[in-house]
């Protein structure tokens, strides 16, 4: 019996796990698919090779489908995210030198975003007084969760990005090297590259994506609108296979096997113990400090694969905030339509997986695990607060953009 071949691109990062497991654990075959997984070297390649049809779907930065639809990419090909590949998984790492300065400004360890922000603001103020050069942070792409969460955290900590710190682009696997060589002073990147930096003794993890914005989106399954329309059965089968794989990846009993698969040279090529840190949430922060970070990386639970349109709109608000996109009612709609909860829901119908009934939620409104309306089973969402206590109402993007703008004139 022949399997239908689907070519899927990915970048060698921990959150490609669900796609890799979908193929290697047989979830794709059970849906009649064979995933031809292609490792790519840059997000630009992922974007272009999906656009020209080399890839049917790909592991994408969560804002990438928005970028495509808002005209920020070289090829105008409409893209969508019919599902997400997990929540969290990133962290901010700084050089040992910056960490030493942060300790002088009250940092005591842990990954609390507020505490880390206060200490870093102290460091930056002192460096300014001493006419020391600006700190430089690396992120993987201008339109990425990393760039936006780093900037959000800095700005809410009273540090103005681009004025007080410089933010540059560095490919994920190059970040530890760049930190070691002193080309950057810190970075915001997905695992395993924070743990790699710590293991090499060049950096200290000071906060996590899950502390800046709990239960926040990171990568999505991206595809062309044209492919989704032409092959709805394949797309449905792919969504189901990847959802089952996500459930498998989220089960602690499988973490060892998953780490082994991902560590192979043709996948991530990073040692298993380093991958286990993010999978279990037992992070080594540096200096031998171990911290169990709840919900550091969530591949499946709490509707982690649901493409919330409120996530898409939050990314849109950040694109406007940092001058990448122009705000208009039409662009809001393009951003919203980049995420397709309807396709996710349709694919999972009758599968017994709980899917939220709503397409969007007020981000930051849940302060504790909360049961919500769902089809297919009972569903509890995790807390989704921003560290500074603000909320994002997807029905009022305008007001949020205006409030963010006023922050920059402090």
Q: Which residues bind other proteins (CB under 8 A)?
A: 41-45, 48-49, 52, 54, 71-76, 140-142, 168-171, 173-174, 183
- 27 vs 43 by CB, closer to other proteins: 43
User: In the complex with other proteins, which residue's Cβ is closer, 139 or 199?
Assistant: 139
Residues facing 286 on adjacent strands: 289
Q: Compute the least distance from the CB of residue 43 to other proteins, in Å.
A: 5
CB nearer other proteins, residue 144 or residue 211: 144
Tokens 């919330």 belong to which residue? 308
The answer to whether the beta carbons of residues 215 and 384 sit under 8 Å apart is yes
Residue 248 and residue 21 in contact, taking contact as beta carbons nearer than 8 Å: yes
**CB of 36 closer than 8 Å to CB of 207:** no
Task: Output the six-digit token pair for 404.
Answer: 């963010």
Structure tokens at 390: 């603000």
Do you know the residue count of the chain?
410
Residue 9 or residue 382: which is nearer to other proteins going by CB? 9
- Using alpha carbons, select from 399, 388, 403 the residue that is nearest to residue 116: 388
Contacts of 70 (CB under 8 A, 6+ apart): 316, 319, 325, 331, 334, 335
| H or E element at residue 141 | none
Cα 270 from Cα 259, distance rounded (Å): 9
Q: Which two tokens stand for residue 170?
A: 């560095």
Smallest separation, CB 49 to other proteins (Å): 7
Nearest residue (CB) to other proteins, 41 versus 229: 41
Question: How far is it, in rounded angstroms, from Cα 100 to Cα 103?
Answer: 5
| Alpha-carbon span 392 to 321, nearest angstrom | 14
Please state the closest distance from residue 225 (CB atom) to other proteins, in A: 16
Nearer to other proteins, 68 or 120 (CB): 68
> Maximum CA pair distance of the chain?
71
Kindly state the smallest distance separating residue 13's Cβ from other proteins, in Å.
12
CB of 270 to other proteins, least distance (A): 15
Distant-in-sequence, close-in-space partners of 199: CB < 8 Å, separation ≥ 6:
274, 284
- Least distance (Å) from other proteins to the CB of residue 242? 25
Residue among 59 and 361 whose Cβ is closer to other proteins: 59
Q: Which residues contact residue 29 at a Cβ distance below 8 angstroms, ignoring those fewer than 6 apart?
A: 3
Q: Which is nearer to other proteins, 72 or 291 (CB)?
A: 72
In the bound complex, what is the minimum distance in angstroms from residue 183's beta carbon to other proteins? 7
What's the rounded Cα separation, in Å, for the pair 132 and 180? 19
- Minimum CB separation of residue 91 from other proteins in Å reads 20
């Amino acid at each position: 019996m022949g399997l239908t071949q689907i070519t899927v691109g990915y970048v060698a990062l921990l959150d490609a796990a669900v796609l890799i497991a979908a193929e290697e654990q047989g979830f794709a075959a059970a849906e009649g698919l064979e995933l031809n997984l292609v490792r790519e070297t840059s997000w630009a390649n992922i974007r272009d090779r999906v656009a020209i049809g080399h890839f049917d779907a790909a592991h994408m930065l969560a804002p990438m489908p928005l970028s495509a639809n808002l005209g920020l990419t070289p090829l105008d090909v409409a893209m969508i995210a019919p599902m997400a590949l997990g929540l969290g998984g990133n962290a901010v790492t700084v050089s040992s030198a910056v960490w030493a300065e942060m300790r002088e400004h009250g940092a005591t360890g842990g990954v609390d975003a507020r505490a880390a922000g206060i200490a870093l603001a102290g460091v930056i103020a002192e460096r300014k007084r001493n006419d020391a050069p600006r700190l430089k942070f690396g992120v993987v792409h201008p339109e990425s969760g990393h760039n936006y969460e780093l900037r959000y955290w800095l700005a809410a900590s009273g540090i103005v990005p681009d004025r007080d710190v410089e933010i540059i682009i560095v490919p994920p696997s190059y970040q530890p090297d760049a930190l070691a060589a002193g080309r950057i002073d810190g970075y915001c990147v997905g695992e395993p590259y924070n743990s790699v930096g710590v293991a090499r003794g060049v950096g200290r993890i000071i906060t996590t994506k899950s502390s800046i914005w709990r239960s926040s989106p990171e990568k999505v399954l991206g595809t062309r609108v044209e492919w989704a329309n032409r092959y709805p059965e394949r797309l449905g089968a792919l969504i189901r296979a990847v959802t089952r794989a996500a459930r498998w990846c989220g089960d602690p009993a499988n973490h060892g096997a998953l780490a082994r698969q991902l560590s192979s040279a043709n996948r991530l090529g990073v040692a298993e113990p380093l991958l286990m840190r993010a999978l279990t949430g037992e992070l080594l922060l540096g200096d031998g400090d171990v911290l169990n970070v709840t919900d550091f990386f969530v591949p499946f639970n709490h509707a982690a694969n649901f493409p919330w349109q409120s996530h898409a709109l939050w990314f849109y608000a950040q694109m406007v905030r940092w001058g990448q996109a122009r705000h208009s009612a039409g662009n809001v709609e393009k951003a919203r339509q980049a995420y397709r909860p309807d396709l996710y829901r349709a694919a999972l119908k009758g599968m017994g997986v709980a899917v939220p009934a709503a397409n969007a939620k007020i981000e930051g409104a849940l302060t504790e695990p909360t049961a919500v309306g769902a089809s297919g089973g009972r569903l509890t969402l995790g807390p989704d607060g921003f560290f500074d206590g603000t909320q994002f109402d997807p029905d009022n993007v305008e007001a949020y953009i205006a409030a963010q703008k006023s922050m920059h004139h402090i």
